[in-house]
């Protein structure tokens, strides 16, 4: 099935992997992006006749009406992503992360399908040794988690939609983000050979960026089976504390040293373990491990030497 797909924020960290993946699978892709980070991450897509690109704001109602009118699937990637960035600019975090999503839902016909990426940080601080499922009440701590949970409710209340609650993403992208936890720790291991950890026992789940793109393709193919539900999207064997993550990195980079500080806090407080059984039961299977991602990132940081790629 070759579909017409509209993606806001398609030149970002996720979109820069997702868009080429969709094109390779025969879909027509239209991207709306403001290019606020001056990224050129979709240049390799420009020769593809099924690729269209528009520079603009995801809150522009006129543009949204024009660009979505004949699309089968809508993927609102445009967002201020991460707790630090949202705390720096709460007004735009609200208007982009919630307002633009609400506007899209008002514009789209009921037959048009939405695939929405949110964060599993909405689970906040979980109960010890108890897995968070999609039935677990959301208790977001950060403003980022709060606005993403609000937008997810709007999406699911609309129906004819799927929400993916993403674990912490990792892996190389043409629009790299080095502020994500695995990406950051591997960068420090490669360049500084050391990291100081705050709240090292805090656990979270992880997922490779290419497996996120694969999940969205899976959602498109199995939409009628999966619609109107949220899905945790992470690796079942990667509910790891920061200390456990550092131990994995150290196995691959033996010179890496990590120290846990007795003082200090992580600005993005989250501590929980997650079950991904709902999406696995639909036939989806991720392909990339934390270990393979670490090896990939080592090659990435052979190319990138300066930490110029972050969302804050």
Q: What is the pLDDT of residues 156-194, one digit of tens each?
A: 999 999 999 999 999 999 999 999 999 999 999 999 999
What is the reported pLDDT for 129? 86
Confidence of residue 305 (pLDDT cuts 50, 70, 90): confident
Q: Cα dist. 107→92, 96, 151, 159, 310 in Å?
A: 21, 16, 15, 14, 32
The answer to whether 125 and 272 have CB atoms below 8 angstroms apart is yes
Average confidence score pLDDT of the chain = 94
Three-state SS at 245: helix
Cα 173 from Cα 16, distance rounded (Å): 6
Indicate the range of 75-79, 191-195, 261-265, 274-278 predicted with least confidence: 261-265
Torsion over CA of 85, 243, 297 and 119, rounded to 10 degrees?
Answer: -40
What is the reported pLDDT for 311? 61
- Predicted model pTM: 0.95
Task: State phi, psi for 178 to the nearest 5 degrees.
Answer: -100, 5
The answer to whether 10 and 205 have CB atoms below 8 angstroms apart is no
Torsion over CA of 312, 269, 169 and 277, rounded to 10 degrees?
Answer: -160
Query: Comparing C-alpha atoms, which of 216, 237, 222, 208 is closest to residue 296?
Result: 208
CATH tag, 4-195+198-238+267-303? 3.40.50.720
Cα 108 from Cα 104, distance rounded (Å): 6
Give burial (CB, 10 Å; 0-12/13-18/19+) of 305: exposed
Contacts of 153 (CB under 8 A, 6+ apart): none
Three-state SS at 293: helix
Cα 43 from Cα 125, distance rounded (Å): 40
């Amino acid at each position: 099935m070759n579909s017409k797909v509209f993606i806001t924020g398609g030149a970002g960290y996720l979109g820069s992997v997702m868009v080429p993946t969709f094109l390779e699978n025969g879909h027509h892709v239209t991207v709306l992006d403001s290019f606020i980070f001056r990224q050129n991450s979709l240049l390799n897509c420009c020769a593809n006749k099924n690729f269209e690109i528009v520079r603009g704001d995801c809150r522009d109602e006129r543009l949204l009406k024009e660009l979505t009118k004949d699309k089968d699937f809508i993927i609102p990637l445009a967002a201020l992503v991460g707790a630090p960035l949202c705390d720096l600019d709460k007004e735009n975090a609200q208007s982009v992360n919630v307002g633009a999503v609400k506007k899209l839902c008002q514009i789209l016909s009921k037959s048009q399908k939405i695939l929405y990426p949110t964060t599993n940080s909405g689970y906040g601080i979980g109960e010890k040794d108890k897995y968070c499922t999609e039935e677990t009440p959301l208790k977001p701590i950060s403003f980022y988690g709060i606005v993403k949970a609000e937008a997810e409710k709007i999406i699911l209340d609309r129906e004819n939609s799927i929400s993916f609650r993403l674990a912490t993403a990792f892996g190389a992208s043409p629009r790299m983000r080095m502020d994500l936890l695995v990406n950051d720790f591997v960068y420090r291991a490669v360049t500084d050979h050391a990291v100081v950890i705050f709240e090292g026992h805090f656990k979270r789940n992880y997922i490779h960026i290419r497996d996120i793109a694969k999940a969205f393709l899976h959602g498109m193919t199995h939409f009628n089976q999966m619609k109107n539900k949220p899905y945790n999207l992470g690796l079942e064997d990667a509910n790891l504390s920061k200390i456990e993550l550092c131990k994995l990195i150290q196995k691959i980079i033996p010179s890496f040293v990590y120290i846990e500080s007795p003082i200090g806090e992580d600005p993005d407080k989250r501590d929980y373990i997650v079950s991904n059984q709902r999406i696995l039961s639909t036939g989806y299977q991720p392909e990339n491990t934390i270990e393979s991602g670490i090896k990939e990132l080592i090659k990435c940081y052979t190319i990138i030497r300066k930490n110029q790629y972050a969302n804050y």
